[in-house]
C-alpha cells in the first residue's frame, strides 16, 4: 500500500478540531495497510494518544515557518513518501501553501501525490490543481447539494466535532421526568429554523393523538420574543400538550450528544444547514444510530448511505409532507427499529466508503501535477 506523510499542526489532547481528525485518519489508514508518518509541530503535551503500530509521529519543525522547510528534506529523500496529505489549521500560515509546491520546486525530491483537506477555506484555490481531495469551496458544495448558502447559527452542530473524553452523563434523567421516552429531538434554536414556528406547529399536529410521545426543542421559547412565546404557550395549553414539550435551554457539548443518543427520532428537516453542518449532523445520526427525518437537500449530501424508509425518512420542505413523514416514523415501532439497525450497519459502510475513496486517490498512477 501507500507511504503517507500526514501533515497536521495539532494532535490530541489539543482541543483544535483538526487534531482529532488527524488522529482518527492516521489510525484508519494504518488499519487499511497504509504506512503513515505524521509530521506535526512542537506540542506542550507530554503524551499523545495511542496510535496504530504502523503510525509514527515526527516532530521535526521547531515552529510552523517557511524557514523550517529544509528540515523536511532528509525525510523526503530517505523515506520517499508516495502521498502528501495536508490537514491545515483554520487559518494556515504561508508554510501550508508552500508544502504542495515543494516537490515541483526541487527536482531532486520525490514527487508524491498531494491530497489537501482545505475543507473550510475559501482561499484554497492556491492548491486547487495539486489537491485531489476536497478541492472545492464550501459555497460550491452548498450549490451542488442545494443547501442553504446562508446558514443559521447552529451551535449544536459545531459541538459535534469537538473532542471530549469525559464520560457522558444521563442528561435526560437529570433534566426531564423518568417516563420521558419516547421523544422527538429538534436541535437548534427556533430562530435558526427556516420557519421559526414550524417545530411548534409540528408538535401541535402530532402530539395530541400520541399521548406517550414528547418533543424536545433546542434553545428556549423566548427566542421568539415575549409576545409570540406567550401566544404559543397558550396554544400548547389549549391542545393539552404543554407538559410534553420541553426546551433544552443553554446546554453543553455532552448534553447535546446525550440528547441525540437517547432520542427516538432526530428531526433536522426544517433546519437551515450548509454543507459542513449537514455532514456533521448526518454523521451524528450514524454514530448514535438515530432515525432522522431530513429534507431532500440534506439527504443528497451523503446519498450513498441514506435509503428512504431504510436508514432515514426523507421529505421535501412543505409542512404537510414533513408532518406525514414524522407521523410515519413515530407510529411505526417496527420501522424505527429497522432504521436503527440499518444505521448501525451503514455507519460502518460510511467509514469504509471514505477510506476506499482515499485509497483510490492514494494508489492512482502518477504524482499530482504541481
3-135 CATH choice from 3.30.70.930, 1.20.1250.20, 3.40.50.720, 3.40.50.2020: 3.40.50.720
CATH class of 155-349: alpha beta
DSSP class of 101:
G
Closest CA to 339 of 234, 263, 253: 263
Using alpha carbons, list the distances in angstroms from residue 244 to 148, 210, 257, 330: 31, 10, 21, 15
Q: How many CB atoms lie within 10 A of CB 342?
A: 20
Task: Confirm if 147 and 275 have CB atoms less than 8 A apart.
Answer: yes
Residue by residue, pLDDT tens for the chain (370 residues) are 789 999 888 888 777 766 777 787 888 888 888 899 999 888 776 677 788 888 999 888 888 788 888 888 888 888 988 888 887 776 677 777 777 777 666 767 777 777 665 444 444 443 333 333 333 334 444 444 555 545 555 555 555 544 333 333 333 333 444 456 789 998 878 888 888 999 999 999 999 999 989 998 888 888 888 888 889 989 999 999 988 888 887 766 557 777 888 888 888 888 887 765 676 677 677 667 778 888 887 777 655 455 555 556 777 778 888 888 888 888 877 777 776 666 555 544 544 555 665 676 666 644 443 3
Domains 3-135 and 155-349 belong to one CATH topology = yes
Q: Which of 119, 113, 114, 149 is nearest to 134 (CA)?
A: 119
Q: Which residues 6+ apart lie within 8 Å of 356 measured at CB?
A: none
Cα-based torsion angle of the residue sequence 177, 183, 187, 189 in order, rounded to the nearest 10 degrees: -60
- Reported as a single tens digit per residue, the pLDDT across 131-176 is 333 333 344 444 445 555 455 555 555 555 443 333 333 333 334 4
Helix, strand or coil, per DSSP, at residue 149: coil
Domain ranges of the chain: 3-135, 155-349
Check if the beta carbon of residue 313 is closer than 8 Å to that of residue 325. yes
d(CA 146, CA 307): 19
Amino acid at each position: 500500500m501507500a507511504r503517507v506523510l500526514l501533515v497536521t499542526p495539532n494532535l490530541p489532547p489539543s482541543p483544535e478540531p483538526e487534531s482529532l481528525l488527524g488522529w482518527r485518519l492516521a489510525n484508519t489508514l494504518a488499519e487499511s495497510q497504509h504506512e503513515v508518518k505524521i509530521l506535526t509541530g512542537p506540542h506542550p503535551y507530554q503524551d499523545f494518544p495511542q496510535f496504530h503500530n504502523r503510525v509514527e509521529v515526527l516532530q521535526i519543525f521547531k515552529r510552523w515557518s517557511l524557514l523550517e522547510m529544509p528540515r523536511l528534506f532528509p525525510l523526503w529523500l530517505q523515506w520517499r513518501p508516495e502521498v502528501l496529505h495536508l490537514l491545515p489549521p483554520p487559518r494556515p500560515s504561508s508554510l501550508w501553501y508552500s508544502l504542495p509546491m515543494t516537490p515541483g520546486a526541487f527536482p531532486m525530491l520525490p514527487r508524491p501525490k498531494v491530497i489537501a483537506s482545505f475543507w473550510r477555506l475559501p482561499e484554497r484555490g492556491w492548491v486547487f490543481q495539486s489537491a485531489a481531495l476536497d478541492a472545492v469551496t464550501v459555497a460550491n458544495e452548498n450549490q451542488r447539494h442545494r443547501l442553504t448558502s446562508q446558514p443559521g447559527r447552529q451551535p449544536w452542530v459545531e459541538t459535534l466535532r469537538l473532542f471530549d473524553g469525559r464520560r457522558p452523563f444521563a442528561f435526560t434523567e437529570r433534566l426531564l421526568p423518568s417516563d420521558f421516552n419516547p421523544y422527538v429531538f429538534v436541535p437548534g434554536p427556533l430562530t435558526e429554523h427556516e420557519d421559526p414556528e414550524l417545530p411548534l406547529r409540528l408538535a401541535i399536529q402530532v402530539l395530541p393523538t400520541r399521548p406517550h410521545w414528547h418533543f424536545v426543542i433546542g434553545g428556549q421559547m423566548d427566542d421568539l420574543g415575549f409576545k409570540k412565546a406567550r401566544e404559543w404557550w397558550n396554544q400548547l395549553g389549549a391542545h393539552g400538550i404543554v407538559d410534553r414539550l420541553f426546551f433544552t435551554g443553554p446546554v453543553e457539548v455532552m448534553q447535546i450528544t446525550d440528547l441525540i443518543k437517547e432520542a427516538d427520532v432526530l428531526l433536522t428537516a426544517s433546519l437551515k444547514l450548509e454543507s459542513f453542518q449537514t455532514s456533521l449532523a448526518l454523521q451524528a445520526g450514524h454514530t448514535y444510530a438515530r432515525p432522522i427525518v431530513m429534507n431532500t437537500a440534506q439527504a443528497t449530501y451523503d446519498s450513498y448511505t441514506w435509503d428512504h424508509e431504510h436508514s432515514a425518512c426523507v421529505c421535501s420542505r412543505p409542512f404537510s409532507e414533513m408532518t406525514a413523514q414524522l407521523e410515519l416514523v413515530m407510529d411505526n415501532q417496527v420501522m424505527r427499529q429497522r432504521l436503527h439497525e440499518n444505521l448501525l450497519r451503514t455507519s460502518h459502510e460510511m467509514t469504509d466508503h471514505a477510506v476506499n475513496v482515499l485509497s483510490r486517490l492514494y494508489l492512482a498512477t502518477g504524482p499530482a501535477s504541481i
